[in-house]
Amino acid sequence: MKRTMTAVCLLFFLAFGAASLAWGSQQGEPQNRQRLRERISDLYLLRLTRALELTEEQTARIYPLLTRAEKDKAELQRRMSAGLQALRAHLAQDRPKEETLILLTNGVREAREDIRRIEAEVDAALDGVLTPLQRARYVVFTVEFLRGTWENLERARGLRAPLKRTP
Is the Cβ–Cβ distance between 116 and 6 less than 8 Å? Answer: yes
Percent helix, strand, coil in the chain, to 5, is 85, 0, 15
Q: What is the pLDDT of residue 48?
A: 93
**Domain-embedded: residue 162:** no
* pLDDT over 90 (residue 82): yes
Q: What is the pLDDT of residue 167?
A: 55
Rg value, the chain, Cα: 17
Percent with pLDDT over 70 in the chain: 77
Average pLDDT over residues 65-70: 93
12-21, 49-58, 140-149: the lowest-pLDDT one: 12-21
**Domain-embedded: residue 165:** no
**Domain-embedded: residue 22:** yes
**Domain-embedded: residue 133:** yes
**Domain-embedded: residue 75:** yes
Q: What is the pLDDT of residue 103?
A: 96
* pLDDT over 80 (residue 157): no
Terminal Cα distance for the chain, rounded? 35
Q: Give the contacts of 166 (CB within 8 A, at least 6 positions apart).
A: 88
**Domain-embedded: residue 167:** no
Q: Which domain holds residue 64?
A: 2-157
Average pLDDT, the chain: 82
Is the Cβ–Cβ distance between 36 and 52 less than 8 Å? Answer: no
Is the Cβ–Cβ distance between 114 and 76 less than 8 Å? Answer: yes
DSSP letters for 20-49:
HHHHHHHHT-HHHHHHHHHHHHHHHHHHHH
**Domain-embedded: residue 115:** yes
Cα–Cα separations (whole angstroms), residue 28 to 23, 31, 85, 113: 9, 9, 17, 29
Count of domains observed in the chain: 1
Q: What is the pLDDT of residue 152?
A: 81
Higher pLDDT, 154 or 144: 144
